[in-house]
Amino acid sequence: MPRRVALLLLLVWLALVAGCGGGDGGPAASGTSRPSVTTSSTVPLDRSPFCVAIRALEAFGTDTSSSSRTPTDVLDANARLARLIEQVAAGLPGGAPADVQTLIADYRAITQAIADAQGDTSAAFAALDASSKEVVARLSDADAHRDSFTYFAAHCGTAAPR
């Protein structure tokens, strides 16, 4: 993933697992590093509910202020993430690429897996890998949701994929 910002919301996943999971082959132990980003400073700030939620997701995904993450911390963060995802879904503009719907579905699957695993991110990843290999494959592919992130950058001023 270090090639570019492939998945804006993957940053959220990484922020959650970096402090709580790992040690048994889960995502925190996989050696994944934070992708490099460029910021879109030429896009006027869109104050639509959709773009406000997208920028909140970007900020949420880059917040690494908490160094200790218990399962309770993960569940709290996951609940906030799930609310943001629903805000994005509710405000989705008609002209958004179809890939955005797939991205939303992928992150709904992640938040559900974390909730089902009661905040144990390693167990959540293992369950998601067992039940939804296609979701894990997309999340592992740096180019899987490029259309979505290009759209977010162009319309909401988020970090642009490289």
Q: Is residue 50 part of a domain?
A: yes
Residue 3 falls inside a structural domain: no
Per-residue pLDDT in tens (0 to 9) along the chain, 162 residues:
222 223 334 444 444 433 333 333 333 333 333 333 344 456 567 888 999 999 988 888 666 555 557 888 889 889 998 999 999 999 999 999 999 999 999 999 999 999 999 988 888 888 998 999 999 888 888 888 889 989 999 989 888 887
Question: What pLDDT is stored for residue 45 in this prediction?
Answer: 77
The pLDDT assigned to 60 comes to 80
The angle, 0 to 180 degrees and rounded to 10, between the axes of the packed helices 8-20 and 121-131 is 130
pTM of the model: 0.72
Q: Extract the tokens encoding 1.
A: 């993933």
Number of domains in the chain: 1
Contact partners, residue 101, CB within 8 Å, separation at least 6: 92
Query: Which domain covers residue 136, as residue numbers?
Result: 8-30+38-156
Residue 2 lies in a domain: no
Is residue 57, in this structure, part of any structural domain at all? yes
Cα 141 from Cα 3, distance rounded (Å): 11
Residue 122 placed within a domain: yes
pLDDT recorded at residue 108: 94
Instruction: Extract the tokens encoding 134.
Output: 């296609």
3-state secondary structure of 38: strand
The answer to whether residue 162 sits within a structural domain is no
**Entry field: residues in the chain:** 162
